[in-house]
Amino acid sequence: MPNIKELTDIEIDITNPPMYKVILHNDDYTPMDLVINILTSIFHKSVDEANSIMWQVHEKGKAVCGVYVHEIAQTKVQQVKATAKQNGYPLLATLEKE
């Protein structure tokens, strides 16, 4: 049997999925240390990064915690809400298309 190799030019169009920002919103109840804990445990931020984001939330009313594909962003929002609820606080996280 002959060994035949066929070369073809195939153009593949790969598009990146849409990305979503996870945003924490300020409230008058959730303690700053819980916000920092959420940022370090759920978003894997360093303590310095978490502190900076926490102050943005406090001073500006909201801040972006990270940018992810939709499924991951949605999971992070649910994790924030569940953690806040378990601790008795109304911390709000939302996602927004980038």
CATH assignment of the domain containing 53 = 3.30.1390.10
Domain hosting residue 74, numbered range: 19-97
**72 falls within a domain:** yes
Residue 9 has pLDDT above 80, yes or no: no
Instruction: Tell me the pTM.
Output: 0.84
Q: What is the pLDDT of residue 12?
A: 82
The overall longest dimension of the chain from CA atoms, in Å, is 78
* H/E stretch holding 68: strand 62-69
Reported as a pLDDT band with limits 50, 70 and 90, residue 14 is confident
- Supply the Cα-derived Rg of the chain in whole angstroms: 20
Give the count of domains, the chain. Answer: 1
Q: Kindly state whether residue 13 falls inside one of the protein's structural domains.
A: no
In a domain, 34, yes or no: yes
Domain contains 47: yes
Question: Regarding beta strands 92-97 and 62-69, do their DSSP bridges make them parallel or antiparallel, or are they unpaired?
Answer: unpaired
- Is residue 78, in this structure, part of any structural domain at all? yes
Mean pLDDT of 59-67: 97
Q: Residue 73 falls within a domain, yes or no?
A: yes
